[in-house]
């Protein structure tokens, strides 16, 4: 399991849709659409390689903020 990458999981099935490397050095998502919505919006995320017994966070469908950047801000980085 890696703390700097997350699996993007489909709601309901937890199928891994893709893996994300996280935000850029400025805290921005490198995978946004034209409206600024992050690629993981509407999915769940979990630490890479984590099984279903680990936490999974739902990302709001129209989120424009990288959830990994939220966690970095929480710990003061």
- CA-based R_g, the chain, Å: 12
pLDDT surpassing 90 at residue 36: yes
Instruction: Tell me, yes or no, if the pTM score tops 0.85.
Output: no
Q: What is the pLDDT of residue 39?
A: 93
Q: What is the pLDDT of residue 3?
A: 55
Spell out the alpha helix ranges (H) of the chain. 67-74
Helices (H) and strands (E) in the chain, counts: 1, 4
More confident residue, 5 or 49: 5
Question: In 49-71, which positions are buried (b, 16+ CB within 10 angstroms) versus exposed (e)?
Answer: ebeeeeebeebeeebebbbbbee
């Amino acid at each position: 399991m890696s703390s700097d990458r997350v699996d993007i999981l489909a709601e309901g099935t937890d199928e891994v849709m893709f893996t994300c490397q996280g935000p850029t050095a400025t805290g921005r998502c490198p995978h946004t659409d034209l409206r600024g919505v992050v690629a993981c919006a509407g999915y769940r995320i979990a630490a890479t390689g984590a099984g279903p017994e680990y936490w999974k966070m739902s990302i709001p469908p129209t989120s424009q903020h990288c959830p990994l950047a939220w966690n970095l801000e929480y710990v003061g980085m």
